[in-house]
Amino acid sequence: MTVISVIIGSTREGRFSDQPANWIAHHLRQRDGVETRLLDLRDFPMPFFDQPVSPAMPGRAPYSNEVVQKWTAEIAKADGFIFVTPEYNYGPPAVLKNALDWVYPEWNRKAAAFVSYGGAAGVRSVQQLRQTATELQLAAVRSSVHIPVATLWAHFTGGDVGAGLAELSGPAETMIDDLLWWTAALRTARASA
């Protein structure tokens, strides 16, 4: 079974993030052979990264923080990821960047895709995340889903968020096709390495 984890990138009170996360997880759950896991950063309240040694340091001791250990174990279980991210000041939220920074080998040589939103559909946040993914040895797939501001606005005004998301089912399926192709290729390559 291929494991894809959907990461909810905002922890803010009144956030929008869990709605697109549940929506894309629903699309993933229609696929055979995929176990979909939803990782909510609210369930992983990690401190800001404060260790003397980088997670990328070969042979380092595991970090002692229990939440970090739980988070790292979740990342280790997954073969691929969908990051659901807003845009905060042209980039991803600090809570998401911090969650990325705490882990290294468990991200390596796996595939990643992005669902984004914001005033400008979150595209600048995804651009930054693509750069971070390169350093984490995560293969960021070409296709992504950028939710138009009208759908985000519906969240704040009591409008029909579901209808807005439903219009994006085409791009969602394309992105999932792309993610699963890369996930399968990298899984095979990891197993034979």
Ligand X SMILES: Cc1cc2nc3c(=O)[nH]c(=O)nc-3n(C[C@H](O)[C@H](O)[C@H](O)COP(=O)(O)O)c2cc1C
Interface residues with ligand X (CB under 6 A) are 10, 12, 15-17, 86-90, 118-120, 152
Greatest CA separation found in the chain?
Answer: 51
Nearest-approach distance from CB 10 to ligand X, in angstroms: 3
Closest to ligand X by CB, 88 vs 107, is 88
* Smallest gap from residue 45 Cβ to ligand X (A): 16
CA atoms within 13 A on the CB side of 26: 10
Minimum gap (Å) between residue 47 Cβ and ligand X: 20
Distance from C-alpha of 114 to C-alpha of 59, rounded to nearest angstrom: 31
State which residue, 154 or 180, has the beta carbon closest to ligand X.
154
Cα–Cα distance, 70 to 59 (Å, whole number): 19
Q: Are 81 and 132 in contact (CB under 8 A)?
A: no
The DSSP H or E segment spanning 174 is: helix 169-192
Q: Minimum Å distance from CB 15 to ligand X?
A: 4
